[in-house]
Amino acid sequence: MSTHLPADRLLAIIETQSRLAASALDLESVMAVVTDRALSLTGAAAAVVELVEGGEMVYRVCAGAATGHTGLRLRASTSLSGRSVREGATLHCRDARTDPRVDLNACRRVQAVSMVCVPLRHDGRPIGVLKVYDPRVDAFGAEDVATLDLLSGVIAAHMAHAADFAEQFQAGRRDPVTDLPNRRALDERVAVEVARANRHGARLTLGVLDLDRFKQVNDSLGHPTGDAVLRAVAANLSHRVEDGAYRLGGDEFALVLVEAGREGAAGVMDRIGRAVAGDQRCRGVGISWGLSAHRPGDEVAALLARADAALYAAKHRLATD
């Protein structure tokens, strides 16, 4: 990086290194220090540490205007942060509205117009991204880019040494049988989407489902076959639901349907039911489901409770038919 940084910025980076060393490599502390310092050094509206999880970039620690978006998931294949990881390069977007490299819908969601993405890599392995963004056009200059580029070299080493934190986060948020995100990941995602819906009036529906006749499969064919059925159901969910499918445990799953009302969500559930019924890998299981559409001022617990109640009612009707 050829840009010469002012002495105050260089001193701030040295101070950041000292703070990270003093944090005893606690993962949350490291990432919190990183986002706070990136925010203050660049004057950005928001700073985020994103981690690579499968084919997604996930907001893990957020500062400034990004606060409240923890758990937000972006497609690595279409986002600027995903491109930054793939190319191992710092990427600077001056105006997301005219930059073909960005996911414009995702940028609008978080009100990002200009941004800088810095890859966090260690020994050639992608770890994640440090990103700053702002609602103004061309909010970042060459000194900001150079500052983050230098800072990333400091923090990436700390992150990589912190017991492979990316794997830790993934393990804590993925179901080992289906490889879907788990209940913890669902709680984080729903919190983000409920906050967004309450702020902006966006539509949001939560669907929960469980499998009919799954116990018979386990009892008659054994648990390995039951696990294979769960993976087949998960594949059908992931194939048809772009926004996100989750395994809650046992034979229960959840779907987060962004920008979908109850009628649209019911159509999605019907299509999934037909797909599962027609998939020989699913061994004849069916699905029962319940939906909960967001209401103004909703809290996460209320949305989840209504979805569970709707599923319970559906199972009761099936048992009495």
Q: What is the CATH number of the domain that holds 216?
A: 3.30.70.270
Residue 132 within a domain: yes
| Residue 159 and residue 92 in one domain | yes
The answer, yes or no, to whether residue 252 has pLDDT greater than 50, is yes
| Residue 249 and residue 137 in one domain | no
Banded model confidence at residue 171, pLDDT cuts 50, 70, 90: low
Residue 145 within a domain: yes
Residue 45 within a domain: yes
| Residue 159 and residue 20 in one domain | yes
Residue 113 within a domain: yes
The answer, yes or no, to whether residue 165 has pLDDT greater than 60, is no
Say if CB 188 and CB 73 are below 8 A apart. no
Return the SS3 of 23.
Answer: coil
H-helix or E-strand spanning residue 156: helix 142-161
Return the SS3 of 87.
Answer: helix
Say if CB 155 and CB 120 are below 8 A apart. yes
Domain hosting residue 256, numbered range = 174-320
Domain total in the chain: 2
Burial class (CB in 10 A: 0-12, 13-18, 19+), 219: exposed
| Residue 149 and residue 181 in one domain | no
Domain end among 129, 146, 170: 170
Least confident stretch, 32-36, 124-128, 246-250: 124-128
Residue 146 within a domain: yes
Residue 2 within a domain: no
| Residue 40 and residue 112 in one domain | yes
**Whether residue 251 lies in the annotated active site:** yes
Banded model confidence at residue 200, pLDDT cuts 50, 70, 90: confident
- How many C-beta atoms surround the C-beta of residue 229 within 10 A? 24
| Strand 56-64, strand 73-75: pairing | antiparallel
Strand segments, DSSP code E, in the chain are 46-53, 56-64, 73-75, 91-93, 114-122, 125-134, 204-212, 245-249, 252-258, 286-293
Q: What distance in Å separates the CA atoms of residue 247 and residue 270, rounded to the nearest whole number? A: 19
| Residue 198 and residue 161 in one domain | no
pTM: 0.58
| Residue 246 and residue 98 in one domain | no
| Residue 271 and residue 292 in one domain | yes
- Among residues 138, 251, 270, 321, the one annotated as catalytic is 251
Please list, in sequence order, all residues whose beta carbon lies within 8 angstroms of the beta carbon of residue 144, skipping any fewer than 6 positions away. Answer: 41, 42, 43, 44, 116, 132
| Residue 140 and residue 225 in one domain | no
| Residue 137 and residue 189 in one domain | no
Domain end among 170, 200, 215: 170
Whichever domain contains 96, its CATH number is 3.30.450.40
The answer, yes or no, to whether residue 251 has pLDDT greater than 90, is yes
Least confident stretch, 10-14, 17-21, 79-83, 132-136: 17-21
Residue 1 within a domain: no
Domain end among 170, 205, 227: 170
| Residue 36 and residue 113 in one domain | yes
